[in-house]
Amino acid sequence: MNKFFYKNFPIKYTIVTRNSSLAIFQAKYIKKKLHKLYPFFKFIIKSINTKIKKNINKNFLKINRKKNFVKKLEKLIIKKKADLAIHCLKDVPINLSSFFKISVFLKREDPRDVFISNFYNSLNDLPNGSIIGTNSIRRQILIMKNFPKLIIKPITGNIETRLKKLDNKEYDALILALAGLKRLKLFKRIKKIIKIKYFLPCPGQGTLVIEILKNRKDLDFILSPLNHKNSNLNSIAERTLSRIFFSNCQIPLSSLAIIKNNLMKIKAMIGTPNGKYIINAKINGSAIFPKKISKKIAFLLKKKGIKNILNLYK
């Protein structure tokens, strides 16, 4: 890279992230990639506490937890105390602030869910009445549908906190995302990787993204080598589908897009809160038109009665 480049760009960039071990690991992972690309640039990681105060209304807490911590990171960027934020895409609101954009979609990690237990090897092995921990409505629906005699108990905290609760015998098993466990090298805790056909993931699961201000052309330029084309297209398809139905973490519309030989295959699923009724849809199309594919599968879901299900979550 020539001297002119270095004279026309800042040589120090601050990466802001949450202060959980997973978030910090992800920031360090991206910092390492950037340092390899730009050895004369300085990349600094700033981690912040994004917890919501305990005295806030519980319904607000449930609905706005993820939106809240994304906005806390964005606030630092607006104040010029940071340049870029690292997120798991599944945590990013469908509609970003008009000042921001997702500049980079990194190559997607395995999007599947996993079963974790100290005494049992799979969901099928759990005795009736076993307590299984998850905060995901999507996972709750699938458990109620396929394992109605299990007891679902909400669980909060980062990965380590949840595993500690399991070890303290507060739960018999947990369902977590594979990607986070792999990144933290906790693969040994996994008893079984759950097949996609049984647990379709939430949109964006397994994908890391970098958020920046829309006017930061310098960042767009230096970050562009990190962008993974197929992960970008898959993410557009999944998030477009969610946007069509105003879906968020409280409306468990699952979707997964996969590209092979320029053909995109996308699957989607949603169920009633009690897990008794689930609809599925799938469609193929050209990978270069991800939004068009999303509109087509949205049409299939409408024909199958998705609006009646969405009304149950209002």
| CATH number, position 25 | 3.40.190.10
Closest C-alpha among 243, 244, 296, 247 to residue 270: 247
- 3 state SS of 176: strand
- Same domain for 232 and 220: no
**Where does the pLDDT of residue 57 fall: very low under 50, low under 70, confident under 90, or very high at 90 and above?**
very low
pTM of the predicted protein model: 0.90
- Same domain for 101 and 20: yes
Which of residues 168, 193, 218 is at a domain's end?
193
Q: Give residue 244's pLDDT.
A: 94
Q: Does residue 201 lie in a domain region? A: no
Q: Does residue 199 lie in a domain region? A: no
Closest C-alpha among 248, 228, 258, 273 to residue 102: 228
Closest C-alpha among 111, 110, 150, 119 to residue 134: 150
What is the mean predicted confidence (pLDDT) over 12-25? 95
Which of residues 170, 193, 216 is at a domain's end?
193
The domain that holds 307 is classified in CATH as: 3.30.160.40
Share of the chain residues as helix, strand and coil, in percent rounded to the nearest 5:
40, 25, 40
Q: Does residue 200 lie in a domain region? A: no
Closest C-alpha among 58, 83, 88 to residue 70: 88
Q: Does residue 202 lie in a domain region? A: no
Q: Range with the lowest mean pLDDT among 46-50, 216-220, 272-276?
A: 46-50
What is the mean predicted confidence (pLDDT) over 3-28? 83
Residue 10 has pLDDT above 70, yes or no: no
Rounded-to-integer distance, Cα 268 and Cα 253, Å: 7
- Same domain for 299 and 260: yes
- Same domain for 168 and 305: no
- Please count the structural domains in the chain: 3
> Tokens at residue 121, please?
């090897």
- Same domain for 19 and 85: yes
Structural domain of 155? 113-193
Rounded-to-integer distance, Cα 127 and Cα 147, Å: 10
- Same domain for 221 and 187: no
> Tokens at residue 210, please?
């970098």
Q: Give residue 68's pLDDT.
A: 79
- Same domain for 161 and 62: no
**Where does the pLDDT of residue 251 fall: very low under 50, low under 70, confident under 90, or very high at 90 and above?**
confident
- 3 state SS of 269: strand
- Same domain for 257 and 312: yes
Rounded-to-integer distance, Cα 275 and Cα 269, Å: 12
The string over 145-181, giving b where at least 16 C-beta atoms fall within 10 Å of a residue's C-beta and e elsewhere, is bebeebebeebeebbeebbebbeeeebbbbbbbbbbb
Residue 64 has pLDDT above 80, yes or no: no
Burial of residue 46 (number of CB atoms within 10 Å: 0-12, 13-18, 19+):
middle
Q: Does residue 167 lie in a domain region? A: yes
